[in-house]
Amino acid sequence: MSTHNNNHEPTSPVNYEQTTPNPYLHDAYLPPPPPEYYMHQRTGKAWRILIPFILLLFGLLLGILIYPAANALYHHTAAASPTPFVPFALPTSQVQGTTIPTTQTPAYIAGLSSGDPRKFVESFSKALLYRDTTNLSKHKADQFLEVCQSSKNPPPSETPACTNGWDDLAGQLSNGSIELIVDPTAQMTVQVTPADPAYGGTDTTGIITGQYVSTSNSNLPLSHTGTAQFWFLEGGSGTTAYTWDFVYLWPTV
């Protein structure tokens, strides 16, 4: 049996330089230059990093240049139209002729029919304050009179300088030529006088003292300010407890 084995490596030396030349040792075997594709790839990566940086820098510079002008324009607009600040609502001024509240029926209207003297006086003063001739007319006598006196003596002490009916007084109140003022806390005094002999008995009159202020267009022979005295008959008709009968006006100076 043969034991010779052909599967073995040769033991003689091999000259690799002759069988496989080294391309880096011979000019004829220099490798080609890098492909142009790879050069573009390297350049593209650099631009991808550089372009966002340039845009960011440009945005910062633009913002620095524009900010002063934009800030000045905003503050100029805000100063030209400031928003008013109202910390709280001011109360309505208590000046005669103030508009009658319309959200609900004012309490003073019902108070004009009250038999309580204090409540009636308070309601009457508010009706005068609002120049509410409509509701005042519902509580006046048919022969209501406005009586003027030229002297400083309380009425009735002389021949009146003027006597006017309700329509005249209502016109004076409406156009502002006269103001009739009553303190809401004023006291009503009571005066009892004999009634008309034809009817017998007595008349009870409630008297409230206030003041008047007139203007030049009132056509009244009175000084600018003076005393106003309001006379009421107790026990009116219907729901009226006090019927307005007279208002006497006379100067105090």
pLDDT reported for residue 166: 96
Measured distance CA(245)–CA(159) in Å, rounded: 18
pLDDT digits 0-9 by tens, 79-115: 555 555 454 444 444 555 566 665 567 889 999 999 8
Measured distance CA(237)–CA(140) in Å, rounded: 10
Model-level pTM?
0.57
Measured from the Cβ of residue 29, the count of other Cβ atoms closer than 10 Å reads 10
The fraction of the chain above a pLDDT of 70, given in percent, is 64
pLDDT band with cut points at 50, 70 and 90 for residue 206? very high
pLDDT reported for residue 165: 95
- Three-class secondary structure of residue 246 per DSSP: strand
Region 175-204: mean pLDDT is: 84
pLDDT reported for residue 77: 59
Measured from the Cβ of residue 219, the count of other Cβ atoms closer than 10 Å reads 14
Residue appearing with tokens 């690799």: 16
pLDDT digits 0-9 by tens, 180-192: 999 999 999 988 8
Measured distance CA(195)–CA(203) in Å, rounded: 5
pLDDT reported for residue 90: 46
Residue 213 has pLDDT above 80, yes or no: yes
pLDDT reported for residue 91: 46
Q: Give the single-character DSSP code of 139.
A: G
Cβ atoms 152, 250 nearer than 8 A: yes
100 token code pair: 């009658």
